[in-house]
């Protein structure tokens, strides 16, 4: 395959990196969120000794869609009004730029994979054939394992009438690191739940319930006798099961082959469950459009169910999973849930924040955010201000946010033509607190990131004091427009920014 400026090599440097935030007290290896261009982040991981250590890589890179992706800016609280949009990332490329970009990342990713690891590349119709060829060039044709076709949506509205069929499918190309390797393979099964009528239409029935049959294969005579005693042998054509001890044979009286009965599991009063193997057509995992409860307001977010299937199939607990285009953090959130180690990279600071808030909402094993390369973290919201008090009490440290305002958010509210809410908390998405700030790394001792749209941050917090010495307290306020404000206060003092 050729493209303008093709070069199948990449320099592996050792870019500068800085630890900027930690969440929770890590036990064991903390998860890593790396902010910066992933070419730098992947080089940095190699320089840190992660080469050959990653069991599974899932990537969902830009699709060469030409779209400038945005997300909604929405006030929190009862009405959760949308007041504007903010840009997230742009997926537009010069000729040849997209494939060169992907080639450089794939070359680095290959070095990070464990000898028996797998890479899963998620894409859509636009570039799936080019990306397959590119993977063949970089990993070798013999490393191709499969391509999953995932129904990501069901065409609705105008899309139903698309010329030459709607695009409702995404593709996931799976390659292994080495052609002679045996990657982890935990074959997934899927459950199909049937009503009584559906079960009756598809299965045979006897006093034991609905069943299907399968050929007895090489079962021994003793095993067949045992199954017969349990009522598990089926004789076709209304015949009976004959057990001939002399001939050591179990057969059907009216001819035809006997079969072993497999009963459907009954669930509740009138539902039946069939378990089937999963093939490479995944129509049973709904897209985000039908799971609004998972939506964290990041464009192109994938579903937890999809990542659960991928990670459970290709890894075991304790294995390391990497997503170099982590977006809203779906991969790392699922890896955390399933007890796998995780690393997520993204060039968009808000993606890193969204991933962090998603993970930090649960039981933590701990995580670190690193700034890699020299892009710097965009600290929007510099116009913001807040008033915060920190006081020592008998219980520990009491922190109260008295007010917060960001003129950028106020302007959006005015443009939306709505009245400014009296409660500042409607403009704040999350509050992070470092009770002993060292001026460099923000170590989160408490995080208040309410789920859902209607709940507000508390604004008043009590933290246990771990020692007599109380350092300055740092509070980070994340507003709904993506702005961030850091307020550092001395204890027992009132400081205004
Ligand atoms: C399709 S989205 C990933 C969505 C993700 N799978 C999820 O479930 O939310 C692609 C992501 O790649 C990131 N990205 C694009 N170019 C990048 C680069 N050079 N380095 C790191 N991240 C990049 C974008 O910021 C975006 O968040």
Residues in CB range of 156: below 8 A, 6 or more apart: none
Highest mean pLDDT among 182-186, 189-193, 358-362: 182-186
Domain that holds residue 360: 17-187+279-372
In angstroms and rounded to an integer, the radius of gyration of the C-alpha atoms of the chain is 28
Cα pseudo-dihedral 210, 215, 220, 225, rounded to 10:
30
Q: Are residues 234 and 263 in the same domain?
A: yes
Establish whether residue 351 lines the binding site of ligand 1, counting it when its CB lies within 6 angstroms of any ligand atom: yes
Q: How many domains does the chain have?
A: 3
How many angstroms does the Cα of residue 422 sit away from the middle of ligand 1?
36
Using a 10 angstrom Cβ sphere, with 0-12 exposed, 13-18 middle and 19 or more buried, the burial of residue 411 is middle
Q: How far is CA 423 from CA 72, 334, 386, 419, 446, in A?
A: 20, 34, 13, 12, 22
Q: Encode pLDDT of 351-363 as tens digits.
A: 999 999 998 755 5
Q: What pLDDT was estimated at residue 497?
A: 45
Within-domain flag for 84: yes
Q: CA 221, 226, 231 angle in degrees (round to 5)?
A: 120
Residues 125 and 26 in one domain: yes
102 and 183 in a common domain: yes
| pLDDT at residue 293, rounded to an integer | 87
Q: What is the pLDDT of residue 495?
A: 45
Structural domain includes residue 377: no
Same domain assignment for residues 332 and 393: no
For residue 321, the cross-strand partners are 56, 342
Strand partners, 171: 123, 149
Same domain? For 389 and 454 the reply is yes
Instruction: Show which of 318, 351, 372 is a domain's final residue.
Output: 372
Give per-residue pLDDT as tens, 63-75. 999 999 999 999 9
Q: Phi and psi at residue 104, in whole multiples of 5°?
A: -65, -40
Average pLDDT, the chain: 92
The answer to the question of residue 400 being in a domain is yes
Percent of the chain topping pLDDT 90: 81
In a domain, 61, yes or no: yes
Does the pLDDT value for residue 119 go beyond 80? yes
pTM for the whole structure: 0.90
Asked whether residue 479 falls in the same domain as residue 455, the answer is: yes
Closest CA to 442 of 343, 344, 368, 355: 368
- The whole-number average pLDDT for the span 220-249 is 95
Average pLDDT of span 175-201: 95
Q: Identify the pLDDT of residue 259.
A: 96
Our mutation pick for probing the ligand 1 site, out of 37, 40, 61, counting the most ligand atoms within 8 A of Cβ, is 61
Residue 361 confidence (pLDDT)? 59
Average pLDDT score over residue span 240-265: 95
- For residue 463, the model assigns a pLDDT of 87
In the reported structure, the alpha carbon of residue 277 is separated from the centroid of ligand 1 by a whole-number distance in angstroms of 31
- Mark whether 359 and 330 lie in a shared domain: yes
333 and 396 fall within a common domain: no
Question: In this structure, are residues 90 and 68 in contact, taking their beta carbons and an 8 Å threshold?
Answer: yes
Last residue of one domain, picked from the residues 321, 346, 372:
372
| Ligand 1 contact via 334 beta carbon (within 6 Å) | no
The response to whether residue 319 sits with its C-beta less than 6 Å from ligand 1 reads no
Q: Is residue 378 part of a domain?
A: no
3-state DSSP call for residue 137? helix
Domain with residue 167: its CATH number is 3.40.50.150
Per-residue pLDDT tens digits for 398-440: 999 999 999 999 999 999 999 999 999 999 999 999 988 999 9
Atom of ligand 1 nearest to the CA of 330: 8
pLDDT tens, residue by residue, 369-391:
999 998 777 765 578 999 999 88
Domain boundary among 318, 341, 372: 372
**Rounded distance from Cα 18 to ligand 1 centre (Å):** 21
Domain contains 482: yes
Q: Same domain, yes or no, for 208 and 180?
A: no
Q: Which two tokens stand for residue 387?
A: 């008033």
pLDDT for residue 342 is more than 70: yes
**Average pLDDT, stretch 456-478?**
85
Q: Is the CB of 302 under 6 A from ligand 1?
A: yes
Residue 211, pLDDT > 90, answer yes
Statement to judge: residues 55 and 161 lie in one domain: yes
484 and 427 in a common domain: yes
Domain membership of residue 25 (yes or no) is: yes
pLDDT value at residue 379 = 65
Cβ 373 under 6 angstroms from ligand 1: no
How would DSSP label each residue in 441-480? SEEESEEE--SSSS----SEEEE--SSS----EEEEEEET
Q: Examine residue 7 and state whether it is found in any structural domain, yes or no.
A: no
Mutating to test ligand 1, I would choose from 89, 126, 296 the residue with most ligand atoms within 8 A of its C-beta, which is 89
- pLDDT at position 321: 98
| Model confidence at 366: pLDDT above 90 | no
């Amino acid at each position: 395959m050729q493209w303008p400026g093709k070069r199948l090599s990449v320099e592996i440097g050792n870019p500068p990196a800085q630890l900027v935030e930690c969440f929770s007290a890590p036990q064991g290896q903390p998860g890593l969120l790396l902010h910066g261009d992933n070419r730098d982040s992947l080089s940095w991981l190699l320089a840190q000794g992660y080469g050959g250590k990653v069991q599974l890589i899932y990537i969902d890179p830009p699709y060469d869609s030409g779209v400038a992706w945005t997300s909604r800016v929405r006030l929190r609280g009862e009405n959760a009004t949308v007041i504007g949009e903010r840009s997230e990332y742009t997926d537009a490329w010069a000729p040849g730029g997209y494939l060169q970009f992907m080639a450089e990342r794939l070359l680095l990713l290959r070095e990070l994979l464990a000898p028996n690891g797998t890479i899963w590349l998620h894409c859509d119709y636009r570039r799936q054939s080019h990306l397959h060829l590119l993977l063949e060039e970089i990993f070798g044709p013999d490393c191709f394992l499969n391509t999953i076709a995932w129904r990501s949506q069901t065409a609705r509205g105008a899309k139903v009438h698309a010329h030459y069929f709607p695009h409702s499918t995404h593709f996931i190309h799976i390659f292994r690191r080495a052609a002679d390797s045996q990657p982890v393979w935990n074959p997934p099964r899927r459950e199909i739940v049937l009503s009584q009528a559906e079960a009756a239409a598809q299965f045979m029935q006897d006093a034991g319930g609905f069943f299907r049959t399968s050929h007895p294969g090489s079962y021994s005579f003793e095993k067949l006798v045992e199954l017969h005693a349990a009522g598990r042998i089926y004789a076709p054509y209304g015949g009976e099961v004959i057990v001939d001890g002399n001939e050591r044979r179990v057969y059907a009286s009216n001819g035809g082959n006997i079969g072993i009965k497999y009963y459907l599991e009954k669930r509740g009063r009138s539902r039946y469950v069939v378990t089937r193997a999963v093939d490479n057509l995944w129509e049973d995992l709904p897209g985000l459009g039908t799971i609004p409860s998972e939506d964290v307001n990041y464009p192109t977010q994938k579903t937890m169910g999809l990542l659960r299937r991928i990670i459970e199939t290709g890894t075991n607990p304790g294995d390391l999973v990497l997503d170099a285009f982590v977006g809203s953090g779906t991969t790392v959130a699922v890896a955390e849930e399933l007890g796998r180690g995780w690393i997520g990279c993204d060039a968009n600071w808000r993606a890193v924040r969204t991933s962090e808030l998603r993970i930090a909402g649960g039981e933590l094993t701990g995580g670190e955010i690193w700034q890699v390369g020299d892009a710097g973290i965009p600290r929007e919201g510099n116009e913001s201000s807040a008033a915060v008090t920190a006081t020592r009490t008998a219980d520990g440290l009491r922190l109260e946010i008295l007010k917060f305002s960001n003129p950028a958010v106020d302007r959006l509210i005015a443009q939306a033509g709505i009245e400014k809410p009296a409660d500042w908390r409607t403009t704040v998405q999350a509050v992070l607190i470092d009770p002993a700030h060292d001026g460099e790394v923000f170590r989160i001792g408490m995080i208040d990131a309410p789920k859902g749209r209607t709940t507000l941050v508390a604004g008043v917090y009590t933290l246990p004091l771990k020692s007599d010495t109380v350092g300055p307290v740092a509070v980070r306020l994340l507003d709904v427009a993506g702005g961030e404000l850091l307020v550092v206060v001395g204890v027992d003092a009132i400081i205004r920014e």
